[in-house]
Structure 1
Amino acid sequence: MTRLATPAPIAEVHGIDRARFDAEIRAAAKPVVLRGLAADWPAVRAARESDEALVGYLKTFSHAEPVGAIVGAPEIEGRFFYEPGLTALNFTRGRAPLDPFLDRLLRDRAVERPYAMAVQSIPAPDLLPGFAETHGLDLVDPAVVPRLWLGNAIRVATHYDLMENIAVVVAGRRRFTLFPPDQVGNLYMGPYELTPAGTPVSMVDPDAPDLERYPRFAEAMAHACEATLEPGDALYIPFHWWHAVASLAPVNVLCNYWWDPAPPGMPNPYDALLLSLFALRTLPEDQRQVWRTMFDHLVFQTGGDPAAHLPAHVRGVFGVADLDGLERMRVTLLQSLGRTG
């Protein structure tokens, strides 16, 4: 029987400011626990007092308009994932006012096997108007809109984000298990077309991995890192780091900040990846090797600037990436797609 490695603890820092975060933390592109970053948030203080105090505080911001929520039967044991055939998800989506949802969280604490419940990734101004103004974070641009996640003891499958992320635990406890991007081949990605939360998830349950079916996951665990966060703690998750999240208490609240440091207005690289799956993956091996060389040279610039020999006024798409150039490229792509349609 293969013995799985114990994930390494994620490095921790205290007393971080924006300048140090940008110069040291983000520059290193490694996850970091920011202990006590939001210890003074009013909601964090309420959560430390009691679940009832937290719910009472959140209700001072809530409204009667329905919000999106997901619910899974007790049989899924809190793990939002797929049905066995992988053609459907094991939870349902619906809408309800927030206050009854919060009351249900409190009531279900006495239930041995409750329904799994979550309100996920709702912009704070939409879910709790006024919350963001009293719960700020100095490490990101003020224009970044925080998102709120509420629920009971649930588990989110290992996945990645297409942005930088700072996640702040407001209430409850959360365990984060992270894997670097280069472990993608050892995480066994699920379907692209149907996903629990946008990007593909790992098919492996990190709490009960089936190593006969997914043997390479043992290698992924050798590169994993992990941390458990308390109210007021935060975690920086760099771009594309895979992460599994387990909420460990019957009442949990998380506030996260997603942002993209890439130039604004540029096309989504994820779309380019999806197109490449169709355009490149099925080519003969010799052609794929040629296109790999072209991508390395032109896109990833492994040999330096591929247009350094050209005058600036004729570099076109190899020049400065701006919105004018993007529009010219969009026209070119539409013309090309029209010829092949």
Structure 2
Amino acid sequence: MPNYPLAKTYFNIKTDNLVTLEEKHMTDIWNGMQQTGVWEDVTPEQLHNHIIPRNQPAILRGFASDWPIVGQSDEQLFNQLSKYNQQKSVATLSGGAEMQGRFFFDKDFRSFNFESKNMPLETVFQQLLDYRKQKNPPHLYAAPINVADVFPGLSSQIPVPHLEHIKNKAGSLWIGNRTKIAAHWDQQDNIAVVVHGKRRFTLLPPEQISNLYIGPLDATIAGRPISMVDFNNPDFQQHPKFRDAIKEAQMAVLAPGDALYIPSMWFHHVESLEDIGVLYNIWWRESSTAKTENPFHTLVRSLMSISHMPQPERQAWKALYDHFIFQEKSNLISHLPEESRGVLKHMTPQL
């Protein structure tokens, strides 16, 4: 196991003045943007009974400030993670300095502006440490790293008792330098915990989809369609409706030990603001069909089968979808005997 030399200065956790003057003026979309609400000393009861039911993002200040891997220097952190590493290779994305950390499509939209390859985790650590010495370093991102697979034993050091009762959950680490991940949605609920470095999240409700200029559905960077808008350098001539999205956006800047609750389907743009950043996140779904159905597949099938129909037929199918999918089930099946409800009754993973 490598032993990375410790730096002379150590990272101190701060929860105030999280955005420097330089960072603030990188662009103007964050100036005056609504701040995500902050909760402190959140208990499991508060999370499940007060925060999640609001269906709004929430900063959970100091959520993981007592984790042993939080608040260490770059070298200390990688030394700690190396103790749990099973010497496995991990999926990485890498690109030159010219991409400015924005993992995206190439100009022709036929390929991407980065290279994907597997890399030993210790190599990732060493490259990130070396990149700190360069004025304009390449960009490297190892993610998502399944903690149970690559870091067995680490889970006991990063406890999240708030989610102990959840069965359908998965924990991952995201390790890189100054990276920008385009706005996208996740089907699952999400708690993202900043382990190292600062991170800025820009959050938008699902209703803003028409103002975000979504890219291809079947050619994606990491499995989710993304916004074509460059949040750091928006082109308002090409994407004029993005101005309306900004009005509804929220900003959350997190320090190590802070966490962010992101409701299912909320768009989030994520930017790592320091030379080395590490994020731990837990996705989960409590739906009875969590492991059997993916609504995105239904969306794509509907797009292929319905969107090109004549307007009267599309309106008819819209009426059917409104009736069968988006109404309360009690109004939908109350007139039917129990034994005659078939697929209209409550779905289960076995149905």
| TM-score normalised per structure 1 | 0.91
**Is 1:80 paired with 2:107?**
no
Q: What displacement does 1:70 show?
A: 1.1
- Cross-structure match for 2:212: 187
Alignment of 1:86-97 (within 5 A): 86-97=109-120
- Cross-structure match for 1:205: 230
- Cross-structure match for 2:10: none
- Cross-structure match for 1:153: 178
Q: Does the aligned pair in 2 maintain the 1:188–1:214 contact within 8 Å? A: yes
- Cross-structure match for 1:267: 293
- Runs (4+) of structure 1 moved beyond 6 Å? none
Q: What displacement does 1:145 show?
A: 2.9
Give the one of 295, 303, 323 matched to 2:321.
295
Give the one of 36, 42, 48 matched to 2:68.
42
Q: What displacement does 1:185 show?
A: 0.2
- Cross-structure match for 1:111: 134
* CA distance 1:56–1:226, shift in 2 (3 Å): same
- Cross-structure match for 1:335: none
Q: Structure 2 CA distance, aligned partners of 1:57 and 1:271?
A: 40
Give the one of 13, 29, 32 matched to 2:55.
29
Q: What displacement does 1:34 show?
A: 0.1
For these two proteins, the number of residue pairs brought into alignment is 320
Give the one of 111, 125, 146 matched to 2:148.
125
- Cross-structure match for 2:33: 7
Give the one of 66, 71, 94 matched to 1:71.
94
Q: Does the aligned pair in 1 maintain the 2:197–2:273 contact within 8 Å? A: yes
Q: Which runs of 5+ in 2 are unaligned?
A: 1-27
> What are the superposed Cα offsets for residues 308-336 of structure 1, whole Å, 9 maximum, x if unpaired?
10111101111121244x2xxxxxxxxxx
Give the one of 205, 216, 221 matched to 2:241.
216
Q: Structure 2 CA distance, aligned partners of 1:320 and 1:289?
A: 27
Q: What displacement does 1:64 show?
A: 2.2
Q: Does the aligned pair in 1 maintain the 2:91–2:144 contact within 8 Å? A: no
- Cross-structure match for 2:11: none
Q: What displacement does 1:6 show?
A: 3.1
Q: Does the aligned pair in 2 maintain the 1:158–1:201 contact within 8 Å? A: yes
Q: What displacement does 1:63 show?
A: 2.9
Structure with greater helix share of residues: 1
Between stretches 49-58 and 70-79, larger displacement belongs to 49-58
Q: Structure 1 CA distance, aligned partners of 2:153 and 2:38?
A: 30
- Cross-structure match for 1:334: none
Q: Does the aligned pair in 2 maintain the 1:35–1:234 contact within 8 Å? A: yes
Task: Give the alignment's Cα RMSD to 1 decimal.
Answer: 1.5
Q: Does the aligned pair in 2 maintain the 1:63–1:98 contact within 8 Å? A: no
Q: Structure 1 CA distance, aligned partners of 2:317 and 2:32?
A: 39
- Cross-structure match for 1:281: 307
Q: Structure 2 CA distance, aligned partners of 1:206 and 1:225?
A: 13
Q: Structure 1 CA distance, aligned partners of 2:133 and 2:102?
A: 19
Q: Does the aligned pair in 2 maintain the 1:63–1:97 contact within 8 Å? A: no
Q: What displacement does 1:33 show?
A: 0.1
- Cross-structure match for 1:310: 336
Q: Does the aligned pair in 2 maintain the 1:6–1:221 contact within 8 Å? A: no
Q: What displacement does 1:302 show?
A: 6.0
Q: What displacement does 1:108 show?
A: 0.8
Q: Does the aligned pair in 1 maintain the 2:198–2:254 contact within 8 Å? A: yes
**Is 1:135 paired with 2:135?**
no
Identity %: 36
Aligned to 1:168, what secondary structure does the other structure show? strand
Between stretches 174-183 and 104-113, larger displacement belongs to 104-113
- Cross-structure match for 1:319: 345
Q: Structure 2 CA distance, aligned partners of 1:303 and 1:193?
A: 32
> What are the superposed Cα offsets for residues 8-28 of structure 1, whole Å, 9 maximum, x if unpaired?
000000111112211111100
> What are the superposed Cα offsets for residues 246-268 of structure 1, whole Å, 9 maximum, x if unpaired?
00111111000001121134421
Q: What displacement does 1:173 show?
A: 0.6
Q: What displacement does 1:304 show?
A: 5.4
Q: Does the aligned pair in 1 maintain the 2:189–2:285 contact within 8 Å? A: yes
Q: Does the aligned pair in 1 maintain the 2:288–2:349 contact within 8 Å? A: no
Q: Structure 1 CA distance, aligned partners of 2:163 and 2:230?
A: 32
Give the one of 14, 32, 42 matched to 1:16.
42
Q: Does the aligned pair in 2 maintain the 1:181–1:242 contact within 8 Å? A: yes
Between stretches 143-152 and 308-317, larger displacement belongs to 143-152
Aligned to 1:90, what secondary structure does the other structure show? coil
Q: Structure 1 CA distance, aligned partners of 2:330 and 2:306?
A: 24
- Cross-structure match for 1:250: 275
Q: What displacement does 1:303 show?
A: 9.0
Give the one of 238, 241, 261 matched to 1:236.
261
Q: Structure 2 CA distance, aligned partners of 1:195 and 1:164?
A: 21
> What are the superposed Cα offsets for residues 124-159 of structure 1, whole Å, 9 maximum, x if unpaired?
022222111221102213543311100001100111
Between stretches 3-12 and 62-71, larger displacement belongs to 3-12
The AA in structure 2 aligned to 1:69 is T
